[in-house]
Amino acid sequence: MAPYIGGMDSRSAAHVLSQIGALLEVKGEQKFKARAYAGAARSLIALDTDDLAPLLRSGELADISGIGPATLSVVRELIETGESSYLNELREGVPEGLLELFRVPGLNAAKVQLIHDSLGVQNLEDLERVAQNGQLAELPKFGKKTAEKILRGIETLRRNAHLKRFPAAAVEAHLLLANVVKHPDVTHADVAGSIRRHNEVVADIDIVAECSGDPASVAASFGRSPGVRESKTCEDPGSVHIRFVDGTHLDMHCVTRADYPVALWRATGSTAHIEEMKVLARKKGFEIAGNSLIGKGGDRIRLKDEDAFFTALDLEPIPPEMREGMGEIEAAARRELPNLVTFDDIRGVLHCHSDYSDGTATIEEMAAAAKERGWDYIGISDHSESAFYAGGLKRDRLLRQQEEIDRVNAQMNGFRILKGIEADILADGRLDYDAEILDGFDYVIGSIHSRFSMDGEAMTKRVLAALDDPHLTILAHPTGRLLLTREPYAINIEAVLEKAVQVGVAVELNADPHRLDLDWRYCRQAKELGVTIEIGPDAHSTAGLDNVHFGIGMARKAWLEAGEILNTRNADDVLAFARKRRAR
């Protein structure tokens, strides 16, 4: 066979590997095989090259972490022929729409296969039909409630189909940025848009590039990048909207050096913030025209950087996370912007799991990882007994864990492990375990992991009852949402926040990127009410400790300062907070 001469870029090859991984999952293959192809796809995207052939010939491709013999064989065939016979083989007998079903919450490979074999379901439309007409409820292990849950899941999936959670979008953005700055006519570039504002979900990626050449020509060249499926010129001549083969959307803004400060501000947004800034500028006799700030005399004002743009309008520079049109401009005009919390303000973390319940690391490993991050303490808060699905701790295992914490603490130098628990809030509002057991913890996290379908009045009553328990130190992930897959349960969160202030309970900003709960808008309300916030990584591994970074981003969006966050305090002060609660 003659060699394929069309070239194979890394993004297109990665898309093929991702499809293979998804199809392996559909066919019920061993999970590690599907994960291997997904991992190889990520490794290829990171290469960001328009031609993999030289890397294959030199042997470098085989040495890249994440690329194994099987995935390398697929890439070799793609380079030589432009196609993958393995992908074509896997596609045989699998309707294209079947892959979409795996994105519906609650459906796994076995259930998808059962629905397909029993009811002939081939896509989301088919699934919606059988869920509505009662056929799905009649299948074994389904029932009416499951069918209703799947219908809600389909609705959520369609509504959020264009969205990505922050971490995935941020990683993708910085991979694209690394490619942008390689361009010979790009002198500097930044990620902007909703990623720079640290939004919890992201629709597309914005990058602003300062160019030494003609911005329109540079923008057009990015539209011809490897893996581009579609490119459209925007209203601004130096901007282009790009859609890649894997569905990633990029808004590329190429500008001159003089335009860069205002362009970065515009591309960062939000729309509400931009419109309010334009109104303010006009009131002060200025005009924001495109990427220029026009002064009172009609001349363009030269700006060194984005901060100078704010200063020219007699404002404090507004941090990107706060630019949501929610009073930040007025605060900046009064020189009353908050001193936002940073990662360096965090002294320790309290919502962490070990291998005693559903975590993957030992207590000693979690403690060492926390210490490596510069923290002074970690709280181990495994699941309580009612959370049997997560290896919840029975009394004897709980006592063994506390003995182990004492033993590891005795070996630690300049670091401390606190004894906590994530106690389930039961349906009637009681905390899991009796008072005697709860007395043995340094602090208690309370959370809901069941009965999500209670009506708003009942759910609110349930949580308010839990807040009355003097053992409760922290209320975790208060609305139960899972971003893009599960809506918050019905609850009067304002009533919960007001009660938390009254009784002295901290409310969690759960930093797991699937949750980010309490929502930053409610965190802003909590700040105004005087609620103490705890940023909890909900770490189930040592790597999960880094979720704190996502929580910091949300806290900054909520205008939170270090003094308003429980775990910016030292261990003694955290323990004092818990003791004060119990003394009430």
Output 7 or 486, whichever has higher pLDDT: 486
C-alpha distances in Å from residue 581, one per residue of 74, 328, 350, 499, 507: 60, 34, 16, 13, 13
Beta bridge partners of 230: 243
Average pLDDT in the 139-156 region? 85
Residues 275 and 406 in one domain: no
SS3 per residue for 289-307: ECCEEECCCCCECCCCCHH
Which of the residue ranges 230-234, 373-377, 495-499, 557-561 would you say has the lowest mean pLDDT? 230-234
Domain holding 380: CATH number? 3.20.20.140
pLDDT digits (tens, 9 = 90+) for 288-304: 999 999 998 899 999 99
Domain holding 316: CATH number? 3.30.460.10
Tell me the HSE value of 359 on the side-chain side, using a 13 A CA sphere: 27
Peptide bond into 270 cis (omega under 30): yes
Q: Is the dihedral of CA 205, 546, 483, 534 positive or negative?
A: negative
The answer, yes or no, to whether residue 14 has pLDDT greater than 50, is: yes
What is the identity of the amino acid at 563?
G
Instruction: Please give the helix or strand (H or E) that residue 266 lies within, else none.
Output: helix 260-268
Q: How far is it, in rounded angstroms, from Cα 102 to Cα 154? A: 11
Question: Which own/partner pairs from 390-395 qualify as long-range (CB within 8 Å, at least 24 positions apart)?
Answer: 390/357, 390/358, 390/449, 391/356, 391/357, 391/358, 392/357, 392/424, 392/432, 393/356, 393/357, 393/421, 395/437
Residue (of 323, 270, 212, 280) closest to 293 by Cα position = 280
Residues 47 and 109 in one domain: no
Residues 372 and 399 in one domain: yes
Question: Does any domain span residue 285?
Answer: yes
Average pLDDT in the 526-543 region? 96
The answer, yes or no, to whether residue 7 has pLDDT greater than 70, is: no
Predicted local distance difference test score (pLDDT) of residue 509: 98
The answer, yes or no, to whether residue 143 has pLDDT greater than 70, is: yes
The answer, yes or no, to whether residue 519 has pLDDT greater than 90, is: yes
- Residue 487 structural domain: 343-583
pLDDT bracket for residue 111 (50, 70, 90): confident
Residues 199 and 294 in one domain: yes
The answer, yes or no, to whether residue 1 has pLDDT greater than 50, is: no
Q: How far is it, in rounded angstroms, from Cα 525 to Cα 527? A: 5
pLDDT bracket for residue 156 (50, 70, 90): confident
pLDDT digits (tens, 9 = 90+) for 336-366: 999 999 999 999 999 999 999 989 899 999 9
Domain holding 87: CATH number? 1.10.150.110
Residues 437 and 558 in one domain: yes
Q: Which of 333, 361, 376 is the last residue of a domain?
A: 333
Residues 319 and 298 in one domain: yes
Strands 445-447 and 422-424: what pairing? Answer: parallel
pLDDT digits (tens, 9 = 90+) for 199-211: 999 999 999 999 9
Q: What is the CA radius of gyration of the chain?
A: 26
Output 494 or 33, whichever has higher pLDDT: 494
The answer, yes or no, to whether residue 3 has pLDDT greater than 70, is: no
User: Above pLDDT 90, what percent of the chain?
Assistant: 64
Question: Does any domain span residue 338?
Answer: no
Question: Does any domain span residue 3?
Answer: no
Residues 216 and 359 in one domain: no
Which of the residue ranges 17-26, 332-341, 573-582 would you say has the lowest mean pLDDT? 17-26
Q: How far is it, in rounded angstroms, from Cα 62 to Cα 75? A: 10
Q: Which of 43, 65, 91 is the last residue of a domain?
A: 91
Residues 491 and 388 in one domain: yes
Predicted local distance difference test score (pLDDT) of residue 232: 92
Mean pLDDT, all residues of the chain? 91
Domain holding 144: CATH number? 1.10.150.20
Residues 379 and 287 in one domain: no
Question: Does any domain span residue 573?
Answer: yes
Q: Which of 73, 91, 109 is the last residue of a domain?
A: 91
**pTM, 2 dp:** 0.82
For residue 186, count other CB atoms closer than 10 A to its CB.
Answer: 20
Question: Does any domain span residue 1?
Answer: no
Predicted local distance difference test score (pLDDT) of residue 453: 84
For residue 305, count other CB atoms closer than 10 A to its CB.
Answer: 12
Residues 29 and 152 in one domain: no
Residues 320 and 209 in one domain: yes
What is the tally of structural domains in the chain?
4
Residues 61 and 182 in one domain: no
Beta bridge partners of 377: 348, 416
Instruction: Please give the helix or strand (H or E) that residue 287 lies within, else none.
Output: strand 287-289
Predicted local distance difference test score (pLDDT) of residue 521: 97
